[in-house]
Structure 1
Amino acid sequence: MEEVNQTTVTEFILNGLTENPELQVPLFLIFLGLYLITIVGNLGMIILIMFSSQLHTPMYYLLSCQSTVITPKMLVNFVTEKNVIPYPECMAQFYFFCSFAVAECHMLAAMAYDLYVAISNPLLYNVIMSYQVCLWMIAWVYGMGLLSATAHTVFLLRVLFCKANIIRHYFCDLFPLLELSCSSTFINEVLALSFSAFNIIIPAMTILGSYMFIIFSILHIQSTGGRSKAFSTCSSHILAVAIFYGSLAFMYLQPSSVNSLTQGKLSSVFYTIVVPMLNPMIYSLRNKDVKVALNELLENISFFLTKNSFP
């Protein structure tokens, strides 16, 4: 009797964001639009950073490395009757998603420190945020992402899947996968809570500490315009922190037995799709340096086109 139903799962079926047929097409169009905005925005920022030396700062180095690994497969789910994902592809999707999600946590903390230095010590900014410091920040952000993703994936590969293969989610996430396990997942859940606490609480404390010093510095700014500009610069970062950490904490800082996967789908939309789409706008389009760099690039392109139009 022990050998019954022990066939190893070789592929999964993604349940998707909704099972309502009437919502499939509208949701497909909505998320396709969001994905195109994300791609255009991030690629545009990468090109702008490459050609503008004034944007070669830690904040923009970190921003340019963000990516999405969830949306294309989710879009397929809206237009196909059954969205099948092979086991190796599912594990790979989870690995890269986990890497970028954890990196985003620490990136937000790094940007909070970057804002603190820019507002509190503007004259010493280039000294404090040196090239070496920039490299250490990048190494920490993506090092933590790769470390966390590797640990989770290694232990996830040890889990035996021999029950139903329908994942009640629109991508291969940890808790929906553990729900299908027919072996013990105690270590996976402990690991998830431990890493989630570290990767959410530590960066959150860094952000909170940075903003305490930022507020203290802003209160010492004499001009009203200077205070308004400083608060405006911080507001976009605060918005990203609230959306990202709020939705991430709701999904991961609780045991899987308490976590509602239906509510988890909604919260995960924010940190997998909305925040990557907002990144270029909240960090860049409202920034004066980016606007200047964009105007210079457009002027150079216009000059080049004009010069080549009249030989």
Structure 2
Amino acid sequence: MTNVFSHPERHHVAVFARQMLLPIELGIVHQMFGQARAGATAEGRPLYEVVTCGLEAGETRTDGDFTVHVPHGPEALAEADTVIVLSSYEDYDQDDPELSAPLGEALARVRQGTRMASICTGAFVLASAGLLNGHAATTHWRHTGEFARLFPGVELAPDVLYTDAGDVLTSAGCASGIDLCLHMIRRDHGMAVANDVARRTVVPPHREGGQVQYVRRPVPEPASPATSAARGWALQHLHEPVTLRQMAAQEAMSVRNLTRRFREEVGMTPMNWLIRQRVERARELLEESDLPVDQVAVRAGLGTAANLRQHFQAALSTSPSAYRRTFRGPEGMATAAV
């Protein structure tokens, strides 16, 4: 049998498309993984090979006035290291066995240990196959009620951008697929590669999965000041003690108003956001420098190595030393006192 993938040295990603797909989702996966290069440079070796497949090869209808040619059938799923299931306007309701049975047969081809992911209502397909039972998962906020009814064994997280349960990941609306893809690239190859992909595709380099997917007032009213100045100032002073009063002063508002607006715009308290930014800064330093862990803690604004380890464990379920070994390897550890 002819191999679907032609580059055995790369990580193989199969995008599973269904009738009435959203072309933006298909483009997101190809664009994000297709831009990932070794060494985080445009001249680096491509790290992923991405192919598109479906229940059968051929023309696939979209939500626009055009079709997409899907070159591969479900046989591609058997060769993939990662499978990403896209959403569909037609068949997310798995109550219909005529829809769910072919999808289940297709997913049965996936090898054990393959990483499975979904965008938007693609989560319904993973859930119907039993892959999400006992795991946290999300989908588009408009369909969370139906998802909870159909799949009571799944730990639904209705408000988040994406979830990561190890080998099973889900994301919310189609744009959060960008966040999910960057998260997987970051998990596979570190922040430098993921940030390079984000820069070249001109998207934010990192939004936490726990950030709310739907903000009822995403654009501040003209009379209401936003919190961007406070966030920008805090990012420039991560290594220093930062207080709510100082952040509020950047917006000329009270601490109470800042906290309220911060929750509305970012989906979390200012202090929780600040801790996340400091953990992100620590990740960058661990990947890109040979600083000892205690100095990383100071420069990231977390004070002590013990405090850094505590926040690292809470956020990433690993230690700073283990994280550095993952992305630097033995050679990179030679001069790093960890």
Provide TM-score, normalisation by structure 1: 0.26
Greater fraction of residues in helix: 1
- The structure, 1 or 2, with the larger RCO (C-alpha pairs under 8 Å, 6+ apart) is 1
Provide TM-score, normalisation by structure 2: 0.24
